[in-house]
Amino acid sequence: MPLPDQDTMDPRLAMLVAEVMSQLPADLPALPSPWPAPGQSRAEWLAEVTAVRAAHDAPADVLAQLLPAAPPDAPTVSDREVEVEGGRITVRVYTPAGEGPFPALVYYHGGAWWLGGGFALTDLYCQRFCAALGSVVVNVDYRLAPESPYPQQLEDAYAALLWTVSSLRPTEVSVAGASSGGNLAAALCLLARDRGGPAIRSQLLHVPGLDLTLSSPSLRADPAVLPNLDGVRRLYSTDWENPYVSPLLATDLAGLPPAVIVTGRHDFLRDDGRRYAERLSEAGVPVVALEYPMLHNIALPETIETMVTEMTAALLALSR
């Protein structure tokens, strides 16, 4: 449903929301515990997390119908392994036609930090970015919470960025992410700045969650949203005022890469993106703010096409 302070939702979008919601299961299991319960072994807890994650990931198939169309010229795609502390992660590399070197875009998927692993729901977006930007796109399958909470997940994101720069040697590198992936991308820009590199050309934050204190007015507009978000954030971190967890709360945003920030008019996370765009502008960071008539992850097909086109155009403009 639209937020109380928004204009009336397009009837076609309202019908699409109702259709999607009608296909979602009504009996999803409760969120897993952030850590093993008293007397529960880690192996038992991991099995429980895996089972609950599978149940919550299943409805993503319903949202697959809303993915953008494939680009006319499909990029070359290969999967690579990246070493991270304590293990390895997989990245999917999309390479455009032609002679390199190319710029690179490192992409972080959404899923509330604990869902959305693999590439099924991000593959077409990354193909579109690759074709439209003429960039190599690195789609990062980082480890998930609660098994890999903050800072492990952010360090995975940083390791993928370092791998992209050292292995692919792009002409420049940008980062992008959706929802919790937008949080990671924003935090990564802070982390790279504070660690002295690598230099990030631009950041694309798509419906990002940027304040885990849950203080944005759009979150408070619907009290039913807060209990679930409270449970989700505890899977990732309880250090909610840490700027690497809540980039919106960073005291110093100077020197960050130019940003494209995309918000949904009916999205409960809308004001996180709006507030961050304002704070970046106040810090002297160039910002392109785009807002569309959509929920967090539901939009009409023509809205998705317009959004993808305008996001890529904005990134290209920032690169120039």
H or E segment and range at residue 137 = strand 136-141
Annotated active-site residue in 141, 156, 211, 267: 267
Q: Quote the tokens at residue 271.
A: 């004001």
User: How far is 90 from 140, CA to CA, in rounded Å?
Assistant: 7
Annotated active-site residue in 148, 179, 202, 246: 179
**Is 266 a catalytic site residue?**
no
Give me the residue label for tokens 């390895």: 88
**Is 267 a catalytic site residue?**
yes
Annotated active-site residue in 33, 57, 215, 296: 296
User: How far is 155 from 6, CA to CA, in rounded Å?
Assistant: 37
For residue 82, what are the CA distances in angstroms to 160, 165, 275? 7, 12, 34
The alpha carbon torsion through 65, 288, 261, 295 (nearest 10 deg) reads -50
Give me the residue label for tokens 């007015």: 217
Q: Which DSSP string do the residues of 65-116 spell out, in sequence order? A: GGPPPPPSSPPEEEEEEEEETTEEEEEEEEE-SS-S---EEEEE--STTTS-
Q: Helices H, strands E: what count in the chain? A: 10, 8
**Is 179 a catalytic site residue?**
yes
Q: Which of 265, 261, 263 is nearest to 280 (CA)?
A: 261
Catalytic center residues:
179, 267, 296
